[in-house]
């Protein structure tokens, strides 16, 4: 029997959620003001994608998980497969170049979009980004898309030391130039001896326009920039409260409207750690050890930037385990898709109420590859029940 789609207007039975009125994105309770005209109607579909951001355990197994999961996503009608860009750290270690992993995914799929989540644009020459992703677009038959990030970790910027202090402005300028190159426009660059040369990039992509998102960890400024540029948003709930996300999406919608972009530019993707099992208890306990190890690894990465700014300081192993276990319980139950199909529904519905269009399900956070692959069948059931939100 085919599962019935869930309704955001209310459900009955275990885990029922109250009715939420249809409304556009507005600010959180501290700063509410009038609604924006640009907002996603509740009649739209909530799409499901797969997202990858593994730490450096068994790289061979991580790539097997990526490719087998991509085949599943393609066969089952998922929207996209996202792979990141990470450098010089165990956290995200299998993914130094999303154009390479996206090309691999493109070669074994025929329907699912292949996307960077993200390209750290200030680390690269935009000419090379345009070339590489035009190849991916051709290999995939026009399924490429990119989220653009500014970068934050000083260690990454050994690739482009002079760009660290101006990384934010380079995103704005870089997106404009990348769009121009994609459309076939030429840019001027100095050559040997300072001679200026007119450059076109090749190959030409399949799509006339490249689908772009801006990656935002929680900064209102970044959400507004995405709206100003007419890009989608790729974000998460790791360090962002529900109220903060609501406020940030209001800023995004207002910036879209102020810049004159249509509703077709309004695309919001939220990344969520995901492991859906037959029952909630099994999911929570299976994911506990790998997720807390994953969180510890991510804290180490953030520690390279500023331990104090993330609340990470010296602690005994016992205290750290207690801290991580508490964080896991709160995060898994309220900001992840870790549980049963029924227990995950309220999170999906709440995100849909905020105008989120797409859930990017991060599945490679440390659960054994075969377990993660097996859980995809339950995720597909959740998708079937929720894509009509």
pLDDT band at 185 (very low <50, low <70, confident <90, very high): very high
| Res. 21: pLDDT tops 60 | no
What is the residue-averaged pLDDT of the chain?
Answer: 85
Cα separation, 297 vs 291, whole angstroms: 10
Which of residues 328 and 35 earns the better pLDDT score?
328
pLDDT tens track for 334-346: 999 999 999 999 9
Give the residue with greater pLDDT, 47 vs 153.
47
Q: Does domain 47-152+159-283+338-386 have CATH number 3.20.20.30?
A: yes
In angstroms, the Cα distances linking 303 to 38, 52, 84, 127, 231 are 38, 22, 20, 33, 30
Q: Which two tokens stand for residue 386?
A: 């929720």
Q: How far apart are CA 8 and CA 51, in angstroms?
A: 25
Share of the chain above pLDDT 90, in %: 67
Which of the two residues, 152 and 362, has the higher pLDDT score?
Answer: 362
Please state the pTM of the whole predicted model. 0.85
Highest mean pLDDT among 52-61, 63-72, 329-338: 63-72
- C-beta of residue 240 within 8 angstroms of C-beta of residue 218: yes
Task: Show Cβ contacts of residue 206 under 8 Å, excluding neighbours closer than 6 positions.
Answer: 137, 138, 140, 141, 142
Per-residue confidence band for 10, with pLDDT thresholds at 50, 70 and 90: very low
- Bridge partners (DSSP) of residue 337 are 274
Q: Tell me whether strands 196-199 and 187-190 are parallel, antiparallel or unpaired.
A: antiparallel
Confidence of residue 32 (pLDDT cuts 50, 70, 90): very low
Domain ranges of the chain: 47-152+159-283+338-386
First to last CA, the chain: 20
């Amino acid at each position: 029997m085919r599962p019935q789609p869930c309704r955001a207007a209310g459900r009955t039975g275990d885990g029922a959620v109250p009715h939420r009125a249809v409304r556009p994105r507005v600010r959180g309770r501290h700063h509410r003001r009038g609604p924006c005209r640009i907002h996603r109607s509740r009649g739209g579909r909530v799409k499901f994608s797969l997202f990858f951001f593994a730490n450096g355990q068994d790289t061979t197994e991580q790539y097997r998980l990526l490719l087998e999961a991509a085949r599943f996503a393609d066969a089952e009608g998922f929207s996209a497969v996202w792979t990141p860009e990470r450098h010089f750290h165990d956290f995200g270690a299998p993914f130094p170049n999303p154009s390479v992993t996206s090309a691999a995914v493109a070669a074994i799929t025929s329907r699912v979009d292949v996307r960077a989540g993200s390209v750290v644009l200030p680390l690269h020459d935009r000419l090379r980004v345009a070339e590489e992703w035009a190849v991916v677009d051709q290999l995939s038959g026009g399924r490429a898309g990119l989220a653009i990030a500014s970068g934050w970790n000083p260690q990454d910027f050994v690739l482009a030391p002079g760009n660290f202090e101006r990384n934010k402005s380079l995103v704005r300028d870089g997106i404009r130039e990348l769009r121009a190159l994609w459309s076939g426009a030429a840019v001027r660059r100095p050559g040997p001896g300072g001679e200026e040369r007119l450059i076109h990039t090749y190959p030409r992509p399949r799509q006339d326009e490249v689908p772009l998102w801006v990656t935002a960890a929680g900064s209102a400024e970044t959400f507004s920039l995405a709206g100003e540029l007419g890009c989608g948003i790729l974000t998460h709930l790791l360090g962002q409260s529900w109220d903060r996300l609501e406020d940030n999406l209001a800023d995004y919608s207002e910036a879209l409207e102020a810049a004159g972009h249509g509703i077709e530019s309004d695309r919001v993707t939220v990344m969520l750690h995901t492991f859906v099992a037959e029952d909630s208890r099994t999911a929570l306990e299976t994911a506990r050890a790998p997720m807390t190890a994953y969180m510890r690894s991510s804290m180490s990465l953030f520690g390279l930037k500023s331990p104090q700014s993330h609340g990470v300081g010296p602690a005994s192993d016992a205290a750290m385990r207690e801290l991580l276990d508490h964080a896991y319980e709160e995060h898994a139950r309220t900001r992840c898709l870790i549980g049963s199909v029924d227990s995950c529904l309220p999170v999906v519905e709440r995100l849909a109420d905020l105008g989120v269009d797409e859930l990017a399900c991060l599945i490679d956070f440390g659960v054994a590859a075969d377990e993660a692959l097996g859980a995809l069948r339950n995720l597909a059931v959740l998708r079937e029940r929720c894509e009509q939100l």
